[in-house]
A and B are shown apart, each in its own frame.
Chain A
Amino acid sequence: MDMSKYQDIFVAESRENIIILNKSLLEFEKNPATLEPLDEIFRSMHSLKGMAGAMGFEALADFAHTTEDILDQMRKKAISPSAEIIDILFTAFDALETFVEQTAIGKAYDTNFLDLKYQFEALVSPQESVETATLFPDLPIAGLASLDDEATEAIEKIAGLKSPDEKNYDVTVFLDKECQMKGVRAFIVLKTLKEIGTLVQCEPPEHDLEANKFGYQFRMTLKTAKSKEEIEQAVLKIFEIENVRIKTPTSSQESKQKRGPSKKQVAIPQTKSVRVAIEQLDNLMNSVEELVLNRGRLARVTKSLNNSQISGLIEQLARLTTNLRDEVMQARMVPASETLDRYPRLVRDVSKELGKLVDIKIEGGDIELDRTVLDQISDPMVHLLRNAIDHGIESPDQRELHGKPEVGTIKIIVSRERNNVLVSVEDDGKGLDPATLKQKAAENGICTHEEASQLTDEEAYMLVTRPGFSTSSVVTDVSGRGVGMDVVRTRIRSLGGTLSIQSTINVGTNFGLRLPLTLAIIQGLEVDVYGETYVIPLANIMETMDIYPEAIQTIKQEEVTILRGDIVPLVRLGEVLETPGAVETAMVNQEGLAAVIVEVGSRRRGLVVSGLIGQNEIVVKPLRGIINMVNLFTGVTILGDGQPAFILDVASFL
């Protein structure tokens, strides 16, 4: 059967499973006394194995199987969870992840799981396996894995033939109505049943099942020595099985008993959701945006008609389109934990590698933000975490010297603030020393000693985001190449967000990311620049003020104004944008100007405009084609009157 169409589902489900695997193993590592994480791992590993088998990834399925054995032994305390085993398990999860990611990009990955497999098998002694085998006859047997497969099969067959209790069961399986991979699920069911008995008959025939040519149920005759309950359990373990009905041909009474649903609800929570490709959501979003735009224009055009019936309808239309847009936006939102949950594992590995003790705490993982934004901050977050462990957190000895707890703490806190999401990465390490930063910046040729000496502490912290800046005397594998923070700042900026750094020596450092909730629709301030309209993203705006000629001063030929004691350099938009008529108008009429105070990072500027028009929700359209390299703008929007207006890239005015 054609598996390619199932590949995306396989990848998506496997990714989820791998996240659970890592998360649970971390929990288990922290507290080996609790068994729930192990159960969780076991469940995820099991479904991963099932999927892999169904997709025909033999090596993966086989490997997952072996891993399962180890987990099983640990669960039964047959082997103790040593640091070594945990490490191997993490390595194993990584190997699984690599496989899945390679599959995602369509590469047949030649994973050599064998090394790991042998490591595992070495951990399990044969005696224990036999014991396992007798205790849990339907679980995979690790010790036997080393036996010749054929021999094993033969032994099982003989055992089966000798069994006097073999019966024919009539098994009817009902698939979940929301099941997306009917064929695969059916295949897994058949495979599972074949493991516990002999399939005598199948209706519809097997190949029809695999080719999806059936409804939501199918019927088989299974010859096995297992009890009805055991068959039922085995089948209900599989995902997306709604129910199973099993009857022995001899007894018709049992057939009336419907089993499963209540039990199933406990085992597999029913998810009322479908997977939708991001691209499809993007297209939907685009259409909705245009609908919103047209609604605005319709309202404007019909306003002069003064027809109460039409305006009533338009009001209703406005409500509907707003709802629709909110729903689509909501559909694009995912909880931050989707990305954050991967970090404990990263922190564990990096800190181990660097010989540091680090604990990670995550708050606000349930806060939702746009899928695209979340994807885009993944790399920057990894940089920040690596930096925090490498440069922030001190070694255990040093920490003790400073009277700090041996174990350092990194906190990731996500919070909502109006239309922004704030993500902060905070460590309790040695902090940034402005003096050292200035010194290094001068040494690296980023600025002169004189320039450096004039920087405020906050400005000095921002030096770390300059290209080519590095304080590490040793270039490690983790950080110190002076590329990371530069990339972080650029990425955050391109998302329309800002990065701020706060630090106290010996107390710690806080990297704050302020991100827009969504990229497609932003709040913007429309401003008039001598007859032309531009939009400034509200996320960058601190405040607006009227500005009079006498409030403009000059320092070193640069115009500035004083805002509550702070010097704010001014940028005349009319000049930068070369607006026709800006010069003559400016000469004659200096009255009635306004300044929009914007901030990027810790730098402020006052953008001088000739008028403020108003604040609006605007739809951002990217600049495409011949105009895509004009760097003053992040995009363009269509105003209520149908005219295009460019959206200023505030950072390019600093």
Chain B
Amino acid sequence: MATYEKELRQKQIYSDSHKTQIVVFCVQNEEYGIHINKVLEISELVSIVRMPRAPHFVEGVINLRNLIVPIIDLHKRFNLPPRENTPATSITIIDGNEGNRAGFIVDEVKEVISLSVDQIDEKPMLLNQSIGSDFIAGVGRLDQRLIILLDIDNILKVSSDSQ
């Protein structure tokens, strides 16, 4: 699965310097991370306009300073139990390939951490995880914590089964 090309890409995203900065957030009590360069901003849960006939995990769109951004519910994307909104629920606006902006609804944004190359396992053994391995780019280890590093371009891809 982990082809040469994919490995290269992951290295570029997660290992391009000694220390890599990762934005860590929570979805259904698991910790996930996205490289800080891919995160445009973090916004509170603003009102989302529903989009009929969109893929089921697309909650709708928001107007982010005159830019229309589709919003993805990661609970739905990862086939997790339904989300419960709390004051900590936020939207992480990310910048995918080819200027594909999108927002991920997450339960809580925790912190920004630094990981060195040897703390990142690029070919993780399949964890006891309900989320698809396509969405995982690697796993970061910090003390006793495991942080799942996301492959955002695959998350933004619509395959026929996700409709």
By a beta-carbon cutoff of 8 Å, the part of chain A in contact with chain B is 290, 293-294, 532, 576-580, 621, 623-627, 629-632, 636, 638, 642-646
Contacts and interface: CB of A to CB of B under 8 A. Distances in A.
Contacts of B99: 624
Contacts of B55: 626
The 7 tightest CB contacts between A and B, nearest first, are A625-B100, A577-B52, A627-B70, A290-B66, A644-B49, A644-B63, A644-B61
Interface in B42-72: 47, 49-55, 58, 61-63, 66, 68, 70, 72
A576 B52 CA distance: 9
Nearest to B96: A625
Interface of B: 47, 49-55, 58, 61-63, 66, 68, 70, 72, 96, 99-102, 156, 158
Which of B61, B72, B99 has the most chain A CB atoms inside 10 A of its CB? B61
Contact of B66 (A294, A532, A623, A631): A294
29 contacts: A532-B50, A577-B52, A577-B53, A578-B52, A578-B53, A623-B68, A625-B70, A625-B96, A625-B101, A625-B102, A625-B156, A626-B102, A627-B58, A629-B158, A630-B52, A630-B53, A630-B54, A632-B52, A636-B61, A638-B66, A643-B49, A643-B63, A644-B49, A644-B61, A644-B63, A645-B49, A646-B49, A646-B51, A646-B52
A625 B53 CA distance: 15
Interface centre among B49, B63, B72 (most CB of A within 10 A): B63
A632 B53 contact: yes
A575 to B, nearest CB: 11
Contacts of A532: 49-50
Nearest to B157: A626
B13 to A, nearest CB: 19
Contacts of A644: 49, 61-63, 68
A642 B70 CA distance: 15
Contact of A626 (B49, B53, B58): B58
A633 to B, nearest CB: 8
Contacts of A630: 51-54
Contacts of B66: 290, 293-294, 638
A416 B60 CA distance: 38
Given A577-B52, A626-B70, A631-B53, 7 more contacts: A626-B54, A627-B54, A627-B61, A632-B53, A636-B61, A638-B63, A644-B49
Contacts of B62: 644
Question: Which among A625, A643, A646 has the greatest number of chain B C-beta atoms within 10 A?
Answer: A625
Nearest to B66: A290
Contacts of A625: 70, 96, 100-102, 156
Contacts of B51: 627, 630, 646
Which of A290, A576, A627, A631 has the largest count of B CB atoms less than 10 A from its CB?
A627
Contacts of B100: 624-626
B79 to A, nearest CB: 17
Contacts of A638: 63, 66, 68
Contacts of B156: 625-626
B68 A636 contact: yes
A579 to B, nearest CB: 8
Q: Which among B70, B72, B101 has the highest number of chain A CB atoms within 10 Å? A: B70
A627 B72 CA distance: 11
Nearest to A638: B63
Q: Which among A293, A576, A577, A630 has the greatest number of chain B C-beta atoms within 10 A? A: A630
B116 to A, nearest CB: 33
A631 B62 CA distance: 19
Contacts of B72: 626
Contacts of A645: 49
A643 B47 contact: yes
Contacts of A577: 52-53
Contacts of B70: 625-627
Nearest to A577: B52
A643 B68 CA distance: 10
User: Most B CB atoms within 10 A — which of A294, A623, A629, A644?
Assistant: A644
A636 to B, nearest CB: 5
A646 B50 CA distance: 10
Contact of A642 (B50, B63, B158): B63
Nearest to A625: B100
Nearest to A289: B66
B118 to A, nearest CB: 34
A293 B58 CA distance: 25
B47 to A, nearest CB: 7
B93 to A, nearest CB: 12
Q: Of residues B55, B61, B66, B100, which shows the largest number of chain A Cβ atoms within 10 Å of its Cβ?
A: B66
B126 to A, nearest CB: 26
A642 B54 CA distance: 21
A621 B62 CA distance: 13
Nearest to B52: A577
Nearest to A627: B70
B51 to A, nearest CB: 6
A290 to B, nearest CB: 5
Nearest to A645: B49
A532 B48 CA distance: 11
Contacts of B53: 577-578, 630-632
A283 to B, nearest CB: 14
Nearest to A623: B68
Contacts of B54: 626-627, 630
A290 B63 CA distance: 12
B5 to A, nearest CB: 22
Contacts of B96: 625
Contacts of B102: 625-626
A294 to B, nearest CB: 7
A646 B60 CA distance: 11
A580 B50 CA distance: 10
A290 B68 CA distance: 12
A630 B163 CA distance: 10
A83 B102 CA distance: 63
Nearest to B98: A625
Contacts of A631: 53
Contacts of A624: 68, 99-100
A625 B102 CA distance: 8
Contacts of A621: 68
A472 B49 CA distance: 50
Most chain B beta-carbon contacts within 10 A, residue among A294, A580, A624, A636: A624
